[in-house]
Each structure stands twice: as C-alpha cells, then as structure tokens.
Structure 1
C-alpha cells in the first residue's frame, strides 16, 4: 500500500487499518456491509472507487466515528479528475494497478493538488482545489507513518523508524510493544515530537495523543526528566488537546519510558527545567491499558457532552416503566461510547430502583468479557457510585458471576486482560464474591439480578441489540433459568476460592497474568493515584474505581 500517492490510496489504507484493527477479514467486512470480499480488497488496493454509501456503512461497521466518510469527498474529487483525463475509459481502471507506483499513467493527485495542513489545535485539514475538508485525527499523513499495517503474518509488525528521527527510540519501543498504535512526526511540529494515534475497539473510536519526549534518569527510584527548551515545553503544555510528556531513560540495557499528563506541567510546574515523574508511571501494559481506555472513553464522552445530556433528558420517561428496550436509533447523534454510557447508566438506576423489592440477597450476572467493556466499571463515575449504593442496600456479601470464554482470553491483548482483572478486583474490594464460568453456552445470557426461585431484574446494555433492555419479572421460566445459571456458575467457577486473594490469584492465572507483577505494579500505581498519569476532562469519567482497584490489588501482595 502507498497511502501517500492519492486520496484513493489513502482511503484504501485507512479502510484496511480499521478492518484489521477489528480483526476482520475482507470477506467478514463484506458480509457486514453487503459487499463482496473481493470488492473490499480492490478498494483497499485502490483498484475500485468507494461509494459514499459504502464509506458510511463501513464507518458504522468499524466504529470509526466517521473517518472514512470524511475522506470520501477527496476520493470523489480525484475520481472526477480521473474521468476527465481518461476520456471514455473505465475510471476504475484509470492508472492500471493502483499499487504500481511506476506506472506512467498514474498521477498521484489527478484532481489537482491536495494540500494538508495542521492548525494550532492539532486538527488536520485537506484542501483540494477550492474545497477544504477536516480529516480529524488523521495526522499520520503529515509525516512518516511508523506503524502502517502489513499483509499476512506481518500485519502486527511496525515500520522501522530512521534513527535520526527517533532520538530516544520511543516510537520504535511503542511500535514493537503495542499493536495497532500509529505514530507520526508532525510537519511542522508546533512543539509536538510525536502524534500518537491510539487504536479503537469494538465500541471505542480511537483517539490521538500529542507527545513530547525528554531525556530522563532514574535516581533512588525517582525519575527526573530534563527540559532543554522551556519555552517550547510551556507552549506544548498550554495546548488544548490531550498531550503527554515522556521521560526517556536510555542509559540502561533496556530503555524505559515514563508518562506524565502534560497538564500537570501547565498547572503545577510552569517554567520548570527539571520535572519529577513517579516511577509508577512507567510505560508498560498496565499504564498503556489505562491510557488507552481512559483517553478513548473521555474524548468520546466529551465530544458527546451536550447531546448526551439532552438525550438522557429526552429518554427520562422510560424510568417510569418497569420494562423497556430502547434501540440506538433513539440517540442517533451519539458515539458508540455515548450509547455505552446511556445504557450503563440507565441499567444501574433500574437495578437500584428494583433492588429493595427483592425478597432475599440476590446473585448478579454480568456480561463483560473483555477489558474494553470492563473499563466502564473502572472509569464511568456512576458505576463506582452504583457499587457503593448496592453494597449499602444489600448489607451483606453478594455474588457476581461472569462468563469469560477461553476464546475471549485468547483474543484479548494483555493490557485488556489487565483491565478486566482490575474491574473484578474492584468488585472484590467491595466485598462482592466473584464467580467465573468459561462455558460459552452462557455467552448470550442477558445481564440479570436474581433472587433464586422468586424474582429477577433484567438489566442489559453489554453486547445487546439496543442501548438497553430492562425488566422486573416473576415469570417462572425466566426466574428458573436465571437461578440455574447462577447456581451452575457458583458451583463450577474457575476462580473458586475461600478468600478474595485466592479468587484473584486464580483469575490472574486464567487470564495469563503474572500475579507477582500485578500486585507490585498495582501497589505502585495505587500509592500515587492515576490523575497525574492521565487527566480526564468529562465530568462523566472518574479515576475513583481504577485507583481503588489498584490500591486493593497492591494490598494483596502481603496477604497469605
């Protein structure tokens, strides 16, 4: 792929990136958007022109937040230019094989010159002839793309970075250790060393982080980063977008990198020539997972801010009903994260209203299987309050069951498995006994709360057909089924243990996570908190759940 050759090549490269990010084959995506896999392949290789409808459909299927639809007008402008040059020939064959850059019929921008520029807020704009369009966070086109996808088994490999452009080997380290991350060198840089594009997920849209890298040294477990150009760093810290300062210690056998939210510099350390960074903020799967989840959730919810409040008010009438099922079409202007938040918030309030009516201490059934879903427990502000309130209402230890099939573990990167582990640890910290089944038969069971053999509350927003489905029921068949599921999982839990530490040790083993490393790193992060590592801006996101979970897991390192 040669995304720099033309808008059509760039579109194809982006389509391929988003498809692979979701682990889909060309045939898989074709089925989702009602096209053939061959057609998808040709569009990715710039051998066929995408239609506007296909761009929009792929945006929905791949949760790109409109990235492809924003690119499509550039492709259309190129196509009109191609038709004008090709006369009566088939425009889809213009230039021969689109990946053959040596073909003398291929002109990089047949519709005219395409100019890209970056404004002071880091937005990327494209101008073709007299048309100007916002490309959003596609800053990778401005410089050398460090992590472009490859074909076949090499898809997860990252492109090498010229040594002169990666003085501290930061980009090389990130590219080798965190699949799906893309880095570029902005031109002009406006004080930014690297633009880092964090990948999305099934619902997370992906987001960008601006980075400055500075030399650092570790002395007596303290990290000191040196600021050579104070004015440049001050300007960087004042920028509005999400930004990160990285301290790079390259003196040892292996380089180490330490992260600090750059707003910490702006608020507390202006004009500093040396900055202290907690050693707990070392870049690894724990801190990357936190940055990935918090940045994605926070940016999406901040973008939805006013629309989310208005939609919540519009849907408030459903709270008077004991049963309701609301589709995502009821909130068409929101991101997938906005839908997640609405569904999660409504289900939490539904359970809190109905919980006092249950005749006995119930068992909870939860559908989260991956870190992306589980991160809501750690970062949505209402989820932490919900755990506090349910604990107060029940006044006794409850059981919460999960279905986490083996394929979900295999398919999840390590940082997502850590997020899932922390969400379950958070529940254990509230005195909730967690049970886990691997039986895929239970994969489709909706979220519920059941008083065995008597009454059930249905509350589901995870992987549902709509934003939520809630109900309160005493129907015998439904209650019996939920009772059987809860009983079976409790009797055959793969993390069975008499104490929280035993259950969490078993969970770490099942998720293929090192227990000693987890307790040590969580203890370090719990001591410092996460607010200097990543500051959230949406009032709907809070680090309370995450910090509680880390502190709790850290305390278990001395437990017997």
Structure 2
C-alpha cells in the first residue's frame, strides 16, 4: 500500500509570502504583475505573467522559476530565487520590502563615489542582509558595519521618514545589540540619496511604550563626503578600540610607569596582536600624557606643532578623549599658537572626505581661539610633533609615521630649541592659511585643501543643529563625539561669505 505523502517542507518563499500577506493568488498576481512591469521597463522585454497552477507549484516547492520568471520573483521579493526555494528557517521570517530601482541605484552609487566603500556585498539585491565595508587608506585596519536600507519619504525640507510598513523588519533588524546603521533611500522624483541613523537610536524610537507613526531622520544626515568621512573614521576607530579594549588597558598602565623617563621609544613588537587603531590610541595617549607632565604650570607662550597631514591621521584629534591643547590653554597666560605642514602632494592624494576630516581637526584648534598656521613645504612634514615653550624647552612626542608605537623626548638645548622655533616661524611666515581672523584663515585653508567653503559651512551648520549622537554612536569608552559637535557648531556660525 502506498503511504500518505509527507507534507512538503515549508520554503522560504512560502514563509515570506505568509509574512507579507501575499500567499493568496489574487494578491500574489497583483504584486507579480507590478514587478514584471518594472523588469520589462529595464530590459525592454514584454511583461510576463504566470498561471495560477504555476503559482501553486511554486508554493508547494515542486517547481523552480526559470529565466525571466525568476528575475521577476527576485524583483518582487528582493531575495535570490535559489534561496526562496530552500527550506525556511525555523524562526520567524521577517524580510524587508524590496527597494525600487532608484533606491538601489542610490545605494550602489556609494561604491562608485568612494573607492574604499563596499555596500551590500553579501546580497545581489540592495537592502537585504546588508553590510557596509569601509577600508582604511593606510592607517586604519578597515572594518564593516551591519546596514539595512528602507524606502524613505520626504516629510519636510528638513526630515525624511521610514513608514510603518517597514516596521516589522526594522524592529527585527535593530533588536540585536551590535553596531548597525539604518538607511532611508528616497525614491525619485521626491529626491535621491541615502540618509543614515544609528540602529540604537532607532531602537529607542520604536519602543512599544512610545511608538512613532513615521520614523523621522534629519535630512542633515544625508550621506555625502562630510558624513561619510565621519562615519568611516568613527566606525574604524570604534571597532579597533573595542577589539583591543583589554590589551589597551594593560598597555596604558605599563606605559604610565615610563612617564618618569624623559626619553622613551615603545617598539611595535612589544605589543603583538594590537590593531593599527589600538596602536594609534596608545601612542597618542602616551605622547599626550608625556607632554602634559612636562608642560610648565604657567608659561607666557606655547606653540604646538602637529604632524598630521591627512584626515586618517587627524581622526585621532577629532575623536580620542585625550587632549593636550585645552590643558595648555589653562596654563598659558600669553599667546598659544599651532602649526601644521600639509604638502600639496598630500592634498592631491587624499579623497575629499579625508581632506574634510583634516580641515575639521585644524578648525577644532581654531575654535579654541588658537591661531593656526599651515605651511606646505614637503620637508617640514617630517618635523617631529612637539610642544614648544619658547626659550625654555621642547617636548617631543611622535606617534605618526614612525616604526614604533611612540617616541617621546624633552630637550632644553639651545640648538634644538632654535630648530623647533625656526619651524614655527617658517609656518607663520609661509602659511597658506593667512589672515587676521579665524574665518579668513580657515577659508584660505579650505582653498588649499580644494574644499568648497560655502558648502562646508552650510553642511556644518545643518549637522550642528541636530548633533551627531543619533547618527553615530561610539561604543568604546575611549571615544567622544563632543569635539566633532564642537567644531561643527563653530564652523556653522562662520560667515560663508568671509
């Protein structure tokens, strides 16, 4: 006797259609026809259709779609056909609604715009199980962050929104306590582009005791060179520091015991397994503590020489918590100045988003009322990073472009002091950022860095009105957004017509 045939295993297709309420033939046929029309518009082929019998065979898992039918099904559901006819997972299946063509194009455009960006590498359909890889440019280790894109709606000139139809998947996506970004993609003609928000903020917004009808995202959070640069830098720093947290705690304690020594060089080999970002933090922290320890309690003048000439290097000054400048200002009764060397070759080799980070770090120094000079002669890019107390001592602390984690020293020899004083005097005399006021100096610097001054000040003003906390959220205790928020507010208040 023939037995009763076993019930067919539930496929992912059936699970997805059940979840969306599309498992009945009339509803399925309507959505399939819409998807077929979109595919036909792209391929110049005639829209295809299927029979109810074929639909039933698909639901039972007896037949896989072939050729164009599979393309239409992928367009309709945003999932590879091969995956749809595999067994559904045992847990509840919650998939996002598929993005339209213009929204997908906005996502894919990121990779064309920023060469170190790879968005949605794990799926052929943007918006499904996505991750965003952001490689370093020589100093960062490179990292990736979970990301999910949803169709966005323009609410006002200042807000875009993600509607409640996407909430089931949105809640599922932001529930895990991992670093993640939510993206809203506007559909033309309402607009184009992607708008980002940190998943932790979205999770708070969607709490059951305080639901929102439409999840609002500030239009200021649009991904462009400025916001991408900040996202790239913070994500790389955050992941590196979190990965090295225990090692950094031990390493920092060990280095603190060496602060009594005026001359120290910490070899990279002494800290095996430490990430490049971890070494950045440890080296810059030791240099900062070394400088503060040897800074006079009161001085008539101070000069800072910074070695950063690229945005990847200056990210430390924007996001790390340790800071020598404010301590120097507290102890100085007279003039405090700062100097950099940014050769033309460094400008040419840096993408716009990286130059914006360098510009922001220099503007941060100016925001404290410290005149900052920037020379461009390449030979000065190799000058040690130092803190100069004119006529008394120079405190040296290198952590960039050295084979070691850091190298520190202090000298009061007149010949050495003369060398450091000459470097500061040269930067003052040959600065590409000249002017009697902060605004004039920074505008000249923007020109040197090939940045649009009016655009920079406008975008800084837009971002400062909301702050970055809802867009980016560091997990590491060693990072802060306060310095970036400060410089954005500062730049936003400068007259773009300076």
Q: Is 1:211 the equivalent of 2:151?
A: no
Cα deviations by residue, 1:103-141 (Å, 9 ceiling, x for unpaired):
xxxxxxxxxxxxxxxxxxxxxxxxxxxxxxxxxxxxxxx
Aligned to 1:344: 284
How far off is 1:253 after superposition?
7.6
Cα deviations by residue, 1:180-236 (Å, 9 ceiling, x for unpaired):
2123353699x9442211111222111112221112222332212224242221111
Match for residue 180 of structure 2 among 230, 243, 257: 243
Contact 1:501/1:559, CA 8 A, preserved across alignment: no
Aligned to 1:437: 375
Contact 1:208/1:242, CA 8 A, preserved across alignment: no
Q: Is 1:507 the equivalent of 2:454?
A: no
Distance 1:164 1:501, change over 3 A: closer
Contact 2:300/2:334, CA 8 A, preserved across alignment: no
| Structure 2 spans left out of the alignment, 5+ residues | 1-78, 81-97
SS of residue paired to 1:381: coil
> What are the equivalent positions in structure 2 for 1:301-340 lying under 5 Å apart?
301-340=241-280
Q: Is 1:356 the equivalent of 2:293?
A: no
C-alpha distance in 1 between matches for 2:477 and 2:382: 32
Distance 1:289 1:187, change over 3 A: closer
C-alpha distance in 2 between matches for 1:186 and 1:521: 32
C-alpha distance in 2 between matches for 1:302 and 1:419: 22
Aligned to 1:71: none
C-alpha distance in 2 between matches for 1:344 and 1:403: 18
Aligned to 1:265: 202
> What are the equivalent positions in structure 2 for 1:29-68 lying under 5 Å apart?
none
Which deviates the most, 461-470 or 269-278?
A: 269-278
How far off is 1:355 after superposition?
1.3
C-alpha distance in 1 between matches for 2:282 and 2:427: 29
How far off is 1:243 after superposition?
1.1
Q: Is 1:176 the equivalent of 2:117?
A: no
C-alpha distance in 2 between matches for 1:290 and 1:275: 23
Aligned to 2:319: 379
How far off is 1:501 after superposition?
0.3
Contact 2:467/2:485, CA 8 A, preserved across alignment: yes
> What are the equivalent positions in structure 2 for 1:88-487 lying under 5 Å apart?
167-184=103-120, 186=122, 192-221=128-157, 222-252=159-189, 255-270=192-207, 272=212, 274-356=214-296, 360-383=300-323, 386-487=324-425
How far off is 1:395 after superposition?
3.7
C-alpha distance in 1 between matches for 2:280 and 2:401: 10
**What is the aligned residue count?**
399
How far off is 1:490 after superposition?
0.8
SS of residue paired to 1:542: coil
C-alpha distance in 2 between matches for 1:223 and 1:184: 22
Aligned to 2:469: 531
Distance 1:345 1:365, change over 3 A: same
How far off is 1:270 after superposition?
3.1
Larger radius of gyration: 2
C-alpha distance in 2 between matches for 1:344 and 1:540: 12
Cα deviations by residue, 1:344-388 (Å, 9 ceiling, x for unpaired):
1111111111111685412111100000111111101123xx332
How far off is 1:499 after superposition?
0.5
Distance 1:399 1:299, change over 3 A: same
Aligned to 2:68: none
SS of residue paired to 1:546: helix
| Structure 1 spans left out of the alignment, 5+ residues | 1-142, 145-161
- Relative contact order, CA 8 A, sep 6+: which one is greater? 2
Distance 1:324 1:439, change over 3 A: same
C-alpha distance in 2 between matches for 1:246 and 1:163: 12
Contact 1:181/1:198, CA 8 A, preserved across alignment: yes
Distance 1:226 1:557, change over 3 A: farther
Aligned to 1:139: none
Aligned to 2:11: none
Contact 2:171/2:206, CA 8 A, preserved across alignment: no
C-alpha distance in 2 between matches for 1:188 and 1:494: 47
How far off is 1:422 after superposition?
0.5
